[in-house]
Amino acid sequence: EAGVTQSPTHLIKTRGQQVTLRCSPISGHTSVYWYQQALGLGLQFLLWYDEGEERNRGNFPPRFSGRQFPNYSSELNVNALELEDSALYLCASSPRTGSRGYTFGSGTRLTVV
Amino acid sequence: QQQVKQSPQSLIVQKGGISIINCAYENTAFDYFPWYQQFPGKGPALLIAIRPDVSEKKEGRFTISFNKSAKQFSLHIMDSQPGDSATYFCAAIYGSARQLTFGSGTQLTVLP
């Protein structure tokens, strides 16, 4: 069974630019979660998508947005990048019911210069 | 009230020793407490989890102890090995909210 896949693995962007990160959940998982892991700040919840709808968002500005497609894959978009957006962005998926434990991908390392 | 407080921030243990990581929470609505292990360059991986109606859960060398009245839970790694060197996160989740609230992480180093 393929795990959660994220792309790209690394990227470097300039302050003010926009970036799109992609996530493919485990087959059969309908929920996708996005987390930001900035150095020294732990794992911060960003967004939760289920069945194509945004179900909840964390305490992040509106320039962080995303969507979930009919095949349950997801994109995270970050506009007007700031230096402090440099972080590892992690996607996780879970089934609609059953286990409450997520399966995480390996993340996308974003560096803003 | 959403916070999960984790300690210590870093831990160094000799091979064969016991590693203990502690977490405390405030929100009594939390009803599922997983632990994640993260190696450099990888995403966190679910290690073991417990529900508050259970006081202890053991899987191999890993044990969660849960004290509901004190709102504390801990991870014990018995016979710690150099391969256990990683960052460990406790977490909590409740009901329909679905998103995990993570502790700040503990960087464990097991010396050979």
At residue A102, the pLDDT reads 84
The more confident residue out of B82 and B42 is B82
At residue B98, the pLDDT reads 75
At residue B94, the pLDDT reads 81
Task: Grade residue B96 by pLDDT with cuts at 50, 70 and 90.
Answer: low
Q: Is B100's CB within 8 Å of A48's CB? A: no
Closest CA to A95 of A1, A24, A3, A26: A26
At residue A70, the pLDDT reads 96
Give yes or no for A32 touching B (CB within 8 A). Answer: no
Is A37 a residue whose pLDDT tops 60? yes
At residue B99, the pLDDT reads 79
Q: Which residue of A has its CA nearest to B51?
A: A100
Q: What is the pLDDT of residues B14-62, one digit of tens each?
A: 999 999 999 999 999 898 999 999 998 889 999 999 999 999 999 999 9
CB B92, CB B30: distance < 8 Å: yes
Task: Grade residue B92 by pLDDT with cuts at 50, 70 and 90.
Answer: very high
Task: Grade residue A99 by pLDDT with cuts at 50, 70 and 90.
Answer: low
Q: Is A48's CB within 8 Å of B99's CB? A: yes
Instruction: Let me know the angle formed at the C-alpha of A82 by A79 and A87, rounded to the nearest 5 degrees.
Output: 95
